[in-house]
Structure 1
């Protein structure tokens, strides 16, 4: 079996971890900082949302550029842009400058995550892709679990400037690791027309969008819901992170051995069940059960879907495929938070999480109806090509 844990794989995974840790230090604490600048709540949503908007606009363009010109330049450039933006939070004094900074920061995040995410698929053996994506995805999962805890502690115990200093240092560490990591010099024929989207990934991107919408509902409204039933929201996210961490490598191996669909379908079903349980919960037991099932379900589906989307395009379009995956995730999380906010306001949390379950059902129907058969055909075709080459 081909080797997975190469220096390139470890380096890219560590770079993503430090990048993600810096990002998740800032994510839960930025609203507090914005309020300290005397910016109103109506503008707060705009400032938070423009980051996602910037990323959504940049990702498809970067996907095409990655396929044309290779990965390394964009990895380093994106990380540097991200680090500069992080450092500049120290000098923001008003809403206009903060708006521009969020645009810059979102662009740096989009460039770095898309280019690292594409490069990691170059160094993972094709027969171990889902397993590799599972281990790689844990770098973001762990940073997602640790970042908010450390960030809130820093702001409460010290100051926002201390948080920015640490986040900036973590970004620099990511840059240094990326510079020391060798990545394959992969680029397409410059004579070909540059493309930024492939229609073969449209169906799976829509499925990813509806699945990501459920995650937007969890991250945005679970803390408020937990407070309303007197449950510590940190308990949910801790249990979720543990379940996700234990599940991802196993799910990846099973997907490589059998098929992506054999993991994605039951994973989405578990996600739906978790959300339905949450919609009916009124105490700690229901929240814990939901966290376990959501960690297993969403945690297994997300990296396997990223692996699957790569099977739908030619190797020369990995950048486009990864950009489509991240764009669908960003849109699902961002738009989901906005749309679900209205449902929460008028119908309550139970209806909100039931709606998230409905979104998961849509993702399941799209995947089983439009994506699974194509994936099976591509896998059979790939195995046939391997047999012929022997």
Structure 2
């Protein structure tokens, strides 16, 4: 039996919640995120997008593009409250729900044996009546195509991609539409004259593997409508981390050390509260020219104590030779597992 997968995506979610809570904002360019000049746009209304404003854009650039925009701070507690109401609707339809984020999920409705468009319309209507928000839904026989479909005619969109439409419907699309293919990878393809999926279709699997490693095989399959990934009901948390944009760019490691100490304390408390420990410590930095870099270290044992995480994070910090000043710094712990025994510090003298 061919699977039936929905990808549901809440339209400009944070901004839409702000408009619902304050109807005077309707029809105006609303930008939500860090409101200081060093902040980053979390999301924005479609009116703001007409000016070229996009998610993850520095606020100072957004203000240059849209000086008359309405800039608001994020209210995560409120967004989570609305998100929970929407996900309750999903779970009443099927237990096979895979959350991707606060405003996005896959649903496997194969076992419902109902018209998928009718199910999608029901979800859209129920979300609208419950929250006042619109939601876009993509319907297909796999995750890649369902996600592609949900983005087809946003906002408030509904699109179905059937197996008999493949590959014809994909061919005119830009390679940037391939889920998982990042901006740099798309630029790499553009550099050799590959701009559309049709042009990519002519490349052999071996060349894509040479270009992108193992992921090249996935790209080769996806543009031919093949994606065997299942909807994962329970998603294990992959990492716990903290990061912040600095008040001013710096390459002073003593100043950065203060931030790292705060992060490690917070991460340790979260790990211990959740009964978790991890063994991969990652330091993330964003330079003054907005380039992201990460460096990590994997330990032979899992840790959760603040002093252990801090020691490893600082070792990574002092191993880096900064060529530019830093505007953002973060620390995360991954390779998580449940802590079954009381953990000793790595450097416990009684060990």
| Higher relative contact order (CA closer than 8 Å, sequence separation 6+) | 1
TM-score of the alignment, normalized to the shorter chain, above 0.5: no
Which protein shows a greater Rg? 2
Normalised to the residue count of structure 2, the TM-score between the two structures is: 0.28
Structure number having the greater strand percentage: 2
